Structure 1
Amino acid sequence: MNIFKKTGKMALGSRLRLLTAKITEDAAQIYALYNVEFSPKWFPVFFVLSEEGEKTITEIAADIGHSQPSVTKIVQEMLLAGLIDENLKSNDKRRNVVGLTEKGKVLSENIKVQCGDIDVAIDGIIAEANHNLWEAIEEWEFLLEQKSLLRRVQEQKKLRESTDVQVVDYEPKYQTAFRTLNEEWISNYFEMEEADYKALDNPEEYILNKGGKILVALYNNEPVGVCALIKMDDPDYDFEMAKMAVSPKAQGKSIGWLLGKAIIERAKELKASKLYLESNTILKPAINLYIKMGFQKIVGRSTPYKRCNIQMVLDLTEKE
């Protein structure tokens, strides 16, 4: 149809619904062709009861991948049609068991003849087509079970938006953003401490003049993320990755990842062998980010921050 040529793949759901509606319309006429009074939407429930016997609503819903309210509605319609009984005898009186009536069992045998003709007809379509839709549907179901369409679109959106992020070196004009972004997240979870004020109020003196770096992430030319590389006076660790902060309005664009990787590259350029950081385990997304970057937990080093309950290090001498 011309509309789908114009919309492209974003109308996949609409196109599938249209195809489903066409097949369902034909299915209703096929039942009439065989003089069977039956609604196509009953078939999954009817098939399960026909093949496997009595079941609860919950069990049927799990078997056919429908919601319990949907199955309950179908069961009620089939009850009115006289095809199933409910509240059948069960060892557990709390279980509402349903099963086919004699009318339903007779209908099941009649439908088997109809199903044979349908199978042959569908095989004919598959033989005429360039692609096997039945196998494709099974494959798509598997792939979407592994990763939903929503998740895939979220990842693509994040990837696209991350390409619009530019990581630049610190300039004095970014001092306000450096402080504001850090103060915002620190105050949200903890409280500002003396060491925070030293670094944020005087980044040139405390960080840059001592051989460190500060990077700023720009999105649409607006500073939305910052991260610092602080020179350490420690024989075991060369630099600390610190003061990483991303604006809440810019989250979901891989800015933390881009800043972290850029800081790591700066540390390598400065011939650092180990990169140290401090954090808190309540910041789960941040901890997961550091682990993804290759940082590993260490213990035993003193810290000026009350909020620090985890210390991590990245060995820059290891090959990636």
Structure 2
Amino acid sequence: MKLFERTGKMALGSRLRLLTSKVTEDAARIYELYNVEFSPKWFPVFFVLSEDGEKTITEIANEISHSQPSVSKIIQEMTLAGLVQDNQDSPDKRRNVVALTTKGMTISEQIKVQCTDVDLAIESIISEARHNLWEAIEEWEFLLDEKSLLKRVQEQRKLRESKDVQIVEYQEQYQQAFRALNVEWISTYFKMEEADYKALDNPKEYILDKGGKIFVALYHNEPIGVCALIKMNDPDYDYELAKMAVSPKIQGKSVGWLLGQAIVNTARELGASKIYLESNTILKPAINLYQKLGFKKVIGRSTPYERCNIQMELEIK
């Protein structure tokens, strides 16, 4: 067990397999103790058939959360052992219906006596332990069904890597990156338009000198994302969130989220009450990001962009 003290929680799967191995080894000996010729791995399938009667392989697989090939293999082994038979009473030979044989039903009665002793033995372990493993397993199963371990690791990786992303205000040295990132992004999905060239070729004149802001995301000091907060001459909106672009080489580092937060926080500091943006619904990750930031769909406004088919607003609180 000292190995697991060194590895930490990284070896959770290995530790669970070791515990499973211990329990399974004892389970085989327990069947021998009760003179039952039975393999522990058969038990879930056997239990369903003993409780519910005949079932198809698909029904059994769904009930015990195993794959159909796994259940089929177990059924084959139990058939060789004389515990189950298939399609004996089924009028539809295309459905692989299985049921316990007379021998299987006899063993079922034997196992019921054994199960009583096993249940009491496990209860004794629970009473001696500081933590109830049975309840903990049920809770873990629920939590992992809600969000898998893989998803949780992806989130932690994203969080860790996002800490290496730095959001800075625009300087003239970032003009080329501001243009290049946007041209790359726009050209990937659409075509460059006149309004794009105005902002990207002259960001100081078109955005900064009019009271706007531009933010740059740096990853190890390299510009990987940009976004602008453009001052609007509009009675309904103070600023527009625009020209957000993130390098496709950088994935999973929350760059868009960090840039969006910088834009919203800056607008709030500048006293803005509403921010406006334009996008396209084919950009599902971008739309999801805007919704996460709090933007909601609006209609009825004109736009200089052919590619725009959705407009959104955010009320600053």
TM-score (norm 2): 0.97
Q: Please tell me whether residue 114 in structure 1 is matched to residue 114 in structure 2.
A: yes
Residue 144 of structure 2 aligns to which amino acid in structure 1? L
Q: Give the equivalent residue in structure 2 for 1:76.
A: 76
Give, in whole Å, the separation in 1 of the partners of 2:78 and 2:252.
47
Structure 2 portions without partners, runs of 5+: none
1:130 Cα deviation after fit: 1.1
Q: Please tell me whether residue 41 in structure 1 is matched to residue 41 in structure 2.
A: yes
1:270 Cα deviation after fit: 2.1
Q: Please tell me whether residue 125 in structure 1 is matched to residue 119 in structure 2.
A: no
Give, in whole Å, the separation in 1 of the partners of 2:78 and 2:162.
53
Residue 38 of structure 1 aligns to which amino acid in structure 2? F
Q: Give the equivalent residue in structure 2 for 1:218.
A: 218
1:92 Cα deviation after fit: 4.2
Give, in whole Å, the separation in 2 of the partners of 1:140 and 1:271.
46
Residue 178 of structure 1 aligns to which amino acid in structure 2? F
Residue 162 of structure 1 aligns to which amino acid in structure 2? S
Residue 105 of structure 1 aligns to which amino acid in structure 2? M
Q: Give the equivalent residue in structure 2 for 1:174.
A: 174
Which segment drifts farther, 46-55 or 200-209? 200-209
1:46-79 deviations in Å (ceiling 9; x for gaps): 0000011000001000111111110011001111
Q: Give the equivalent residue in structure 2 for 1:279.
A: 279
Give, in whole Å, the separation in 2 of the partners of 1:93 and 1:40.
30
Give, in whole Å, the separation in 1 of the partners of 2:12 and 2:132.
18
1:196-250 deviations in Å (ceiling 9; x for gaps): 1111111111111111110001111111110001112222222110000111222
Q: Give the equivalent residue in structure 1 for 2:96.
A: 96
The secondary structure found in structure 1 opposite 2:215 is: strand
Give, in whole Å, the separation in 2 of the partners of 1:299 and 1:93.
59
Kept in 2, the 8 Å contact 1:212–1:228? The answer is yes
Give, in whole Å, the separation in 1 of the partners of 2:199 and 2:90.
71
1:30 Cα deviation after fit: 1.1
The secondary structure found in structure 2 opposite 1:303 is: coil
1:93 Cα deviation after fit: 4.1
Residue 250 of structure 1 aligns to which amino acid in structure 2? I
1:128 Cα deviation after fit: 1.4
Which segment drifts farther, 80-89 or 43-52? 80-89
The secondary structure found in structure 1 opposite 2:209 is: helix
Residue 233 of structure 2 aligns to which amino acid in structure 1? D
1:22-43 deviations in Å (ceiling 9; x for gaps): 1111111111111111111000
Give, in whole Å, the separation in 1 of the partners of 2:31 and 2:107.
11
1:89 Cα deviation after fit: 2.4
Q: Please tell me whether residue 201 in structure 1 is matched to residue 201 in structure 2.
A: yes
Q: Give the equivalent residue in structure 2 for 1:250.
A: 250
Q: Please tell me whether residue 241 in structure 1 is matched to residue 241 in structure 2.
A: yes
The secondary structure found in structure 1 opposite 2:35 is: coil
Kept in 2, the 8 Å contact 1:88–1:96? The answer is no
**Percent sequence identity over aligned pairs:** 76
Give, in whole Å, the separation in 2 of the partners of 1:200 and 1:305.
15
Kept in 2, the 8 Å contact 1:61–1:68? The answer is yes
RMSD of Structure 2 on Structure 1 (CA)? 1.2
> Aligned runs of 1:127-142 on 2, under 5 Å?
127-142=127-142
Q: Give the equivalent residue in structure 1 for 2:149.
A: 149
Residue 252 of structure 1 aligns to which amino acid in structure 2? G
Q: Please tell me whether residue 260 in structure 1 is matched to residue 274 in structure 2.
A: no
1:253-310 deviations in Å (ceiling 9; x for gaps): 1111111111112112222221110000011111111111111111111111110000
Residue 108 of structure 1 aligns to which amino acid in structure 2? S
1:88 Cα deviation after fit: 3.0
Give, in whole Å, the separation in 1 of the partners of 2:136 and 2:232.
57
Kept in 2, the 8 Å contact 1:296–1:313? The answer is yes
The secondary structure found in structure 1 opposite 2:249 is: helix
Which segment drifts farther, 127-136 or 274-283? 127-136
1:100-159 deviations in Å (ceiling 9; x for gaps): 000100010011111111111111111211111111111111111111111111111112
Q: Give the equivalent residue in structure 2 for 1:66.
A: 66
Change (3 A) 1:88 1:188: farther
Give, in whole Å, the separation in 2 of the partners of 1:270 and 1:121.
68
